[in-house]
Amino acid sequence: MRTTQRKVLLALLFGLLVSGVTIGLDLSFVRFDHLLAHLVIAGCIAGLLTIIFTLALQLKQEEQHYLFAAERAAVLAEVNHHVRNAIFPLCVAVNRFGDPDASRLVTECVERINMALRDASVDATVGRYSRTRPKANTQKAAA
């Protein structure tokens, strides 16, 4: 994501570019008479409209980004809830028998699941995931 300062500078750059091109074209194709002031004002208005339009586009893109991030967080919270609800009866059943080896094994498994859920939540929140499946290695090793 761009910072607010960079977004405003980008919008100003585009506005100045449009304004400069508009004024330059007007000056090159129009005679120098009383219309000159009107053409410069029209070029400045075009630049201002470009700035507003650029900032509106950036705001819309940022809004869509945050909506998508909120949807990802909601889906991940739901998955986390279902996984933990499925694990809880298993933990209770193992603790009922009182077998220390089984309890240790369940504790290790729950910790691995916790780490996997934590890593998945961080990756989904930051956006480090791919919706496509990884490509299988098509090269066969020489025998």
* pLDDT tens track for 80-118: 888 888 888 888 888 888 788 888 888 888 888 888 888
Q: Give the count of domains, the chain.
A: 1
Tell me, yes or no, whether 134 lies in a domain.
no
Residues 6 or more apart whose CB falls under 8 angstroms from that of 120 comprise 76, 79
Average pLDDT of the chain, as a whole number: 81
Residue 141 lies in a domain: no
Q: Is residue 132 part of a domain?
A: no
Closest CA to 39 of 28, 50, 49: 28
Does any domain span residue 133? no
Domain around 38: 4-126
Answer whether residue 70 is part of any domain: yes
Q: What is the pTM of this model?
A: 0.59
Whether 115 is in a domain gets the answer yes
Does a structural domain hold residue 74? yes
pLDDT tens per residue, range 114-143: 888 888 777 766 766 555 545 555 554 444
> Residue 16 — very low, low, confident or very high, per pLDDT cuts 50/70/90?
very high
Contact criterion met (CB below 8 Å) for 52 and 104 = no
Cβ proximity of 53 and 17 under 8 Å: no
